Amino acid sequence: MHTIVLATQKGGSGKTTLAIGLALAALQAGHNVRMIDTDRQGTLSRWQVRRGIAEPVVEIVRSADHIERRLHSFDRGGVSLTVIDTASGVGEATVAAIRACDLCMIPARPTVVDIEATAATLGVVRAWRKPFALVLNQTPVRGRRVNDSANALGDVISDLANVLALPFIAMRNDHQDALAAGLSVGEYAPSGKSADEIQSLWQWTRAKLDGVPAAALAACAHPSGGAPIQADAEATAAWKEAGLPWDACL
C-alpha cells in the first residue's frame, strides 16, 4: 500500500481539494482507496456526507497514535492507496501522518508568502527523510499555457525537477463547485480542464510513488491528447523569488 499525505502550514492552500482529486483519480484507475481526515474542521468528512456514495471511505482519525495502526489495518485489508488530509499547521497528527507516509504533497498558491509558509512542513519532511512534492495550486489560468519558457529557468527547474509536481493546478470554479456537490472535479466536469489537470497530477504522483527518476517525471504528466507538461515561467518565478534553500530540503 502507498500512503500520500497532503500537508502544509497555510490554510486554504488546497490540501482537501487535491486529496479528493488524487484519491478519486486513483479510484477511477482501479485502486482500492481509503481516505483519512485528521482535520477537526472536517471539510473532507463533510464532503463525504454530501457525497452520499460509500466510496471512497473517509475515516476520521484525530489522534496521532492511531494513524499508523489504521494504516497497518488498511494494508492488511487490501487497500492499495491511502490519502490523508491534514489540518493546516504542523500539529501532532500531521507529523504522525508525515512519518507514516510514502509521499508528502505540499500545496501552495504561487505567491512568495504561500511558498515561504511551506518551510515548516518541509522541516518535518526533512527530519523524517520523507519523499515530498510541492504542488502549485490556484495558479492563474492565463499562466497555465504549455510553453518552453521553462528552459530559460535553468538551475531553478533542474533543482526542482524531482519535487515540483506537474502540472500546476489552475484556479477554476469547477474545484469549488465539485467540493460543494460532494464530487471530485473529474466527476463534476469530466471533460473540463480541471479534471484533465488533476488526472495528469495523479499520473505524475503515481510515477513518483513508483520511483520514476526525476528526468523522466515530467513526461508522466500528460493532459489528454496533449504533450508532456512543462513548468511555466510565470508560476515558477514565485519559487525563485522566495529564495528558499531548496537543496537543504532534498
Ligand X SMILES: Nc1ncnc2c1ncn2[C@@H]1O[C@H](COP(=O)(O)OP(=O)(O)OP(=O)(O)O)[C@@H](O)[C@H]1O
Residues of this chain that bind ligand X (CB under 6 A): 11-17, 39, 41, 43, 88, 137-138, 169, 171-172, 175-176, 179
Residue nearest to Mg ion (CB): 16
Q: Are 150 and 158 in contact (CB under 8 A)?
A: no
The residues facing 3 across adjacent strands are 82
Contacts for 105 with CB less than 8 Å, ≥ 6 apart? 4, 5, 6, 7, 18, 22, 132, 133, 135, 165, 205
List the single partner that 209 binds among Mg ion, ligand X, none, CB under 5 to 8 Å by kind: none
The residues facing 60 across adjacent strands are 37
Q: Using CB under 5 A, pick the residue from 29, 32, 42, 43 that binds Mg ion.
A: 43
Question: Does 139 sit near Mg ion (CB under 5 A)?
Answer: no
Nearest approach, Cβ of 97 to Mg ion (angstroms)? 13
Closest to ligand X by CB, 158 vs 176, is 176
What is residue 36's three-state secondary structure? strand
Nearest approach, Cβ of 19 to Mg ion (angstroms)? 8
Q: Are 24 and 121 in contact (CB under 8 A)?
A: no
Q: In sequence order, what E strands does 86-131 have?
A: 103-108
List the single partner that 17 binds among ligand X, Mg ion, none, CB under 5 to 8 Å by kind: ligand X
**Listed ranges 16-24, 135-143, 156-164, 218-226: which one lies at the site for Mg ion (CB under 5 A):** 16-24
User: CA 54: distance to chain centroid?
Assistant: 23
Nearest approach, Cβ of 184 to Mg ion (angstroms)? 15
Greatest C-alpha distance within the chain: 48
Which residues of the chain form contacts with Mg ion (CB under 5 A)? 15-16, 43
